[in-house]
Amino acid sequence: MFNSSRSGSAAATRRLTLEYKQLSAPDSLFPACGPIDERDLLHWEALVPGPDDSPFEGGVFTAKLTFPASYPLEPPVMKFDPPIFHPNVYPDGTVCISILHAPGDDPNMYESSSERWSPVQSIEKILLSVLSMLAEPNVESGANIDACKMWRDDRKGYEEVVRKSVREQLGL
């Protein structure tokens, strides 16, 4: 079924296979998430819905998840493609949230180790954290300085930019 050499270590393959089965279940919150090619479990795609009561509401955003062969000991990288305008998303689309930061102590002493990645986290928890991030940015730890500044200084303008990009992304 899955090619272990393309899918990473045996531990990563087992864990990703289990998470894929859970996300594919009928009651999953994120059924549109899984490997791009089932022979390569290290590269996934997820469709992330815009949270209700946020400027992203109504949108559906494509994100790529790239897992290291050491997963679940190390976190994946998540990147919106195309990029979205958000304080916690780098201009290239890479998501910057605590749960995706390497385990252990933060060298900048901003995050506690309990906020960072640990093997008990899951893809579903990442996606839930991203939904929360979309609705409530953390501008204290910004990845996109322009979006942070606009969110702080001109919230209405920020929301207009996001809503416009949602409409464009939907072809409206």
What are the structural domains, with CATH classification, of the chain? 4-170 (3.10.110.10)
Instruction: Report if pTM > 0.85.
Output: yes
Instruction: Point out the residues that are catalytic.
Output: 96
pLDDT at 39: 87
CB neighbour list of residue 98: distance below 8 Å, 6 or more residues apart: 111, 115, 116, 129
Q: What is the largest CA-CA distance in the chain?
A: 52
146-161 mean pLDDT: 96
Q: Is the pLDDT of residue 106 over 60?
A: no
Q: How far is Cα 88 from Cα 69, in angstroms, rounded to an integer?
A: 25
Q: Is the pLDDT of residue 148 over 60?
A: yes
Q: Is the pLDDT of residue 2 over 60?
A: no
Confidence of residue 110 (pLDDT cuts 50, 70, 90): low
> What per-residue string of b and e applies to 137-165 under the rule 16 or more CB within 10 Å gives b?
bebebbbbeebbebbeeeeeebeebbbeb
Confidence of residue 162 (pLDDT cuts 50, 70, 90): very high
pLDDT at 156: 97
Q: Which two tokens stand for residue 6?
A: 């393309």
Question: Average per-residue pLDDT in the chain?
Answer: 89
Which carries the bigger pLDDT value, residue 73 or residue 113?
A: 73
